[in-house]
Amino acid sequence: MDFIISLVIGITAGLHTSTWGMYKDSPHEGYTHAKYFRSTIIAAIVGPVIWYISGMDLSVPANILMLWGGTYAIERLILEFYKTFLREEDQSKYFIPMQLHIFGKVVESRNARLLAGAGYLAVCLLVGWGVYTLWGMHEAGNLNWHPLLIVFAIGSIGGWISAFGGAWKDAPLEGFQIFKFFRSPGVAFGYAILAAMLTTNFLFITLCGIGYTIASIETYKTFFFPSKPRGKFAGKPIDFPDWTQKRQKYVPVFVAIWVGILFFAYLAYTGTRNGLL
């Protein structure tokens, strides 16, 4: 049964990403089932894998929230890594290239992109190893940090990676924005505090910090400002105007997923909590 639950969690996390991605991109790129369900398929694999490795009991509402946030973060890492370092695509349709670029100039050499990707992956793995090491020290009673300092260190780190990566990608073309730079680390820290109220697992605190941050910020940018094009399409024509209306039929799926998350959050935070905080 837990496997089925983990699969459903993965599918809903992927559908969430698939929907806001389609909503913002379809007027510029059109719609295909393959592109829409890409994140859903990846997350449907990631969810059960995380559940199997962690061995978490999914009859506990808090663990459902942890798995959803962790799946969301890993799916985003996988797909953004693919788009930045591996995918070969015409970048002329973008104002801000999605492929690796230096000050707006796309890195054409595949070998150079693979080398940069290996470096980026090494940094992510090093961060994961560091968080895991701190967790081991805490469990052994050898980490005498204040719990809030621990949460800040492990919870906001994903937000800082996102902030620096976003600044590297966006700032050369749209300028450096202080609020935008500090937004992800700040929101990630907030979500990490919420996660730390439910779990002592440092890895899940870190993953939920960034996973729920992406889910929330993308919801805000996509559905509160639906007529404002994303930075990557700034100044680009709307080639598929019919999708400004067709995309609306997917919104109920998106809303239903958020309602589900809030429902399990209610169960988790009103029940017995065994977290770091």
Fill in the amino acid letter for 150. Answer: I
- Look at the pTM and tell me if it is higher than 0.85: yes
* Four-residue CA torsion sign, 115, 119, 124, 126: positive
The low-confidence residues of the chain, meaning pLDDT below 70, are 166-176, 229-231, 234
pLDDT of amino acid 254: 94
Query: Which element (helix H / strand E) includes 105?
Result: strand 105-106
Of residues 97, 222, 115, 113, the one with CA closest to residue 169: 97
pLDDT of amino acid 171: 62
Domain ranges of the chain: 2-270
pLDDT of amino acid 231: 65
Residue 266 burial (CB count, 10 A): 11
pLDDT of amino acid 184: 84
